[in-house]
Amino acid sequence: MRLEILQGDITTRDVDAIVNAANSSLMGGGGVDGAIHRAAGRELLAACMQVRERYPHGLPVGQAVATPGFKLPARWVIHTVGPNRHAGQNDPELLASCFRESLKVAASLGASSVAFPAISAGVYGWDAREVATVALDAVSRFDAESSRGLELVEFVLFSAATTDVFRSVFTASEG
C-alpha cells in the first residue's frame, strides 16, 4: 500500500473514499465535517439522517460508517467520530480505532484509495504529532495484516504546519 501526505482540500481529492472527521450526530458541523457536507450537497445530510436511524444516540467514538459521496469526486464518504480530548477522551486506542475502522469500511466497499484528514487534531484537542503517530501506525498495521485491495492511503491536511508534522513523523518511522 502506498502512503502519501499532502497539503490541500480533502473534498477535491479524486480517490474512492474520503474520511470525514464527523461529530457523533453525523449532521454536519465545522472544520472538515462542514466542508465535506457543503461540497457533497444536501443529499449527504439526508443519507446521514438515514444512517442516524441505526445510531439514535449518535455514532460511537472510534466507529465508522459510509455514505455515498454525492457531488464529491470521491464515490464514498466514510464518517468516523474521533475522541475529544476536551471531553476526557484521551485514549490513543480510541483514535487508532477511527483509522482502523475507516480502513475496514473502505476495504469492504472495494475502495482502492482513501484519503484521511487529521482526525481529532484541532478543535478536539489532540496534538498533531500524536495524531500522526497513531494514524501512521494504524495504517501500517492494517497494511501488514490485510490491506484487502487498498492501494493508496492519503493524508490530506489543511495546514502547512500539520502537513510538516505528518511528514516528519512518517520520515522518522521509515528510518
pLDDT digits (tens, 9 = 90+) for 153-174: 999 999 999 999 999 999 998 7
Task: Indicate the average pLDDT of the chain.
Answer: 95
Task: Look at residue 175 and tell me whether its pLDDT is greater than 80.
Answer: no
Buried-exposed string 76-111: b where 16+ CB fall within 10 A, e elsewhere = bbbbbbbbbbeeebeeeebbbbbbbbbbebbbebeb
Distance CA 82, CA 158 (A): 17
Task: Look at residue 146 and tell me whether its pLDDT is greater than 80.
Answer: no
Domains recognised in the chain with CATH numbers: 2-174 (3.40.220.10)
121 bridge partner residues: 126
CA distances from 13 to 9, 114, 172 (A): 7, 9, 26
Residue corresponding to grid cell 455514505: 67
What cell does 88 get?
476526557
Reduced to 3 states (helix: H, G, I; strand: E, B; else coil), residue 55 is coil
Burial class (CB in 10 A: 0-12, 13-18, 19+), 46: exposed
pLDDT in tens, 106-132: 999 999 999 999 999 988 999 999 999
Phi, psi of 144 (to 5 degrees): -70, -35
pTM to 2 decimals? Answer: 0.96
Strands (DSSP E) contained in 8-49 are 17-22
Residues annotated as catalytic are 33
Q: Mean pLDDT throughout 81-88? A: 97
- Closest alpha carbon to 119 in 39, 4, 18: 18
Q: Mean pLDDT throughout 79-97? A: 97
